[in-house]
Structure 1
Amino acid sequence: MTRPFIMVAPNGARRGKEANASLPITIPEMVTTAVSCHQAGADALHLHVRDDNGGHSLDVGLYREATSELLRVVPTLEVQITTEAAGIFDVPAQYHCLRELKPKWASVSIREMARDMSLAPKVYDLCADNNTKIQHILYNTDDIALLLDWQKQGIVKADQDSVLFVLGRYTQGQVSSPDDLTPFRQALPDIKHWMVCAFGPDEHNCLAQAARQGGAVRVGFENSLMSPDGTPHADNAASITALIHTIEQLKPA
């Protein structure tokens, strides 16, 4: 099988060193991780920055420092910032981050934007004006229905058509299976720009199924720390290597 577009999500908003000592927290750690992941086969990086206490942050200064260092050290690795609320940030804070940073690429949860309908349309307008590519984070088919409605209303622009299907985020124990992809694909059968991430130990099998169907994949310690047999990955690069091996064993759909 042809290798899919691979994005690495090395840390997320919540996990720390207690989860895995190689999980990057600081910007230098993130840059080192980016280098090894790019060498292992990652095409892009989903970037979370952390504050001095290791907490999830949308600080524009930290983002500027991180993206500048990543561009300097691994210029061929695409970088996507997150606007994830993580139970901390409201829509005005997310809007401020996008307005001040003007990133090339950002992930945006449509259900989080829906918390403030006075500001949500301005988020999509702002990204269109700044040429910020949006990837819509979709956790279930209700999120897809909302996206389709906002596209119909013109809140979401016609070319803001990239999505990430998140498998297992709100299941018991945050575990997913390849079958979880089916309702997403049925709800958006004609989508062209789609990616999948999956929580839990079956992460790689879920991503392999997505790749088999022509999707891009997002892998890394934000979503899973271990292989299906329960063996922890040494680091994010090792997870990428294992995923590529799994995908290479598949036959095309």
Structure 2
Amino acid sequence: MTWPVVIAVAPNGARRQPADHPALPVTTEAIARTVAACVHAGAAMVHLHVRDARGNHSLDAGRYREAIAAIRQQAASEPLIQITTEAGARYRPAQQRACVRALLPTSASLALRELASDATEARATGHLLKEMLEAGAIPQLILYHPEELDHYRRLQANDTFPRAELPLLFVLGSHTDETPRAGLEDFLAGPVGDACWMVCAFGRHELPAVRKALRLGGQVRLGFENNLWHPQGRPLRDNAESVALAVRAAHALGRTPADAATARHLLTPPTATEEVMP
């Protein structure tokens, strides 16, 4: 019996430019080609960032629509497409939520520290999460520190957030400090419950984190958003090579890369139809 793993690719992020690596995609066409190659290499999911005309981070719904349409046209099989709502030092929480409502995406990632920084923002985000679940969309909460997991569970306990087991992304390290201050074990020691969890890390820590998550039953995210380097110390050729490393690691540990349908099944909250929020 196989044990599937969702391999998600984050091909560009909000910060890096082609000057950092010539294969880092920022245009719609380049993003679509890159995602198609990553799907061919074994990715079931894409964590999508788009850029404005100057190459800066954007949450413009129109640009997202263009990129999503291009991915669907280019990829041999459509991946699970997740948009980011990252603030990127440009957007406020109301604008981040408005992007999701304007686009009605299949999936969106939402950083708890950006979108639930106080009680007012948490309530507004809780209503968005409820809307997403009712529409069949998949919200994934991004957590940067194990203490945020406790905060999330408190928001559920007081009915600010839906009770559904939302999928979680544990971020190990940061763009400014690649060395994780908290390890995967620190997150898993908290109230993870039955949530489907995923891991990403930075630089040389990326592949070791992927391997550990694979061993412990998690899902994985990797790509040029967080890492440009092969474990051998050379630059990665492209995002597809990064995905191929994860596929190889999965097979070595007895796990099978999921397809998009399986990814959606695994990430869809099992109690999404049993909401109790007023």
Q: TM-score, normalised by structure 2?
A: 0.84
Q: State the Cα distance separating 1:251 from its structure 2 match.
A: 6.4
> Does the aligned pair in 2 maintain the 1:25–1:54 contact within 8 Å?
yes
Q: Percent identity?
A: 36
> Does the aligned pair in 1 maintain the 2:108–2:139 contact within 8 Å?
yes
Structure 1 equivalent of residue 179 of structure 2: 175
Name structure 2 gaps, 5 residues minimum.
Answer: 256-278
Q: What amino acid is the match of 2:32?
A: V
Structure 2 equivalent of residue 73 of structure 1: 74
Q: What amino acid is the match of 1:216?
A: Q
> Does the aligned pair in 1 maintain the 2:16–2:225 contact within 8 Å?
yes
Structure 1 equivalent of residue 245 of structure 2: 242
Q: State the Cα distance separating 1:247 from its structure 2 match.
A: 3.0
Relative contact order higher in (CA < 8 Å, ≥ 6 apart): 2
1:147 is paired with a residue whose SS is helix
Q: Name the stretch that deviates more: 24-33 or 158-167.
A: 158-167
Structure 2 equivalent of residue 43 of structure 1: 44
2:154 is paired with a residue whose SS is helix
Map of 1:1-253 to 2, 5 A cutoff? Answer: 2=3, 4-74=5-75, 75-115=77-117, 117-130=119-132, 131=135, 132-169=137-174, 173-176=177-180, 180-250=183-253
Structure 1 equivalent of residue 268 of structure 2: none
Name structure 1 gaps, 5 residues minimum.
Answer: none
Q: State the Cα distance separating 1:140 from its structure 2 match.
A: 0.4
* Structure-1 separation of matches of 2:82 and 2:174: 20
Q: State the Cα distance separating 1:46 from its structure 2 match.
A: 0.3
> Does the aligned pair in 2 maintain the 1:91–1:115 contact within 8 Å?
no
* Structure-1 separation of matches of 2:115 and 2:204: 30
* Structure-2 separation of matches of 1:235 and 1:186: 34
1:201 is paired with a residue whose SS is helix
Q: State the Cα distance separating 1:189 from its structure 2 match.
A: 4.5
> Does the aligned pair in 2 maintain the 1:84–1:109 contact within 8 Å?
yes
Count of residues in correspondence between the two structures: 250
Q: TM-score, normalised by structure 1?
A: 0.92
2:102 is paired with a residue whose SS is helix
Q: What amino acid is the match of 1:135?
A: Q
Q: What amino acid is the match of 1:33?
A: T
1:148 is paired with a residue whose SS is helix
Q: What amino acid is the match of 2:142?
A: I
* Structure-1 separation of matches of 2:150 and 2:19: 37
1:118 is paired with a residue whose SS is helix
> Does the aligned pair in 2 maintain the 1:135–1:160 contact within 8 Å?
no
* Structure-1 separation of matches of 2:117 and 2:155: 14
1:221 is paired with a residue whose SS is coil
Query: Alpha-carbon deviations, 1:156-177, whole Å to 9, x = none?
Result: 112252100001127x731349
> Does the aligned pair in 2 maintain the 1:208–1:247 contact within 8 Å?
yes
Q: RMSD across aligned C-alpha pairs, in angstroms?
A: 2.0
Q: What amino acid is the match of 1:77?
A: P
> Does the aligned pair in 1 maintain the 2:3–2:254 contact within 8 Å?
no
> Does the aligned pair in 1 maintain the 2:8–2:221 contact within 8 Å?
yes
Q: State the Cα distance separating 1:70 from its structure 2 match.
A: 1.8
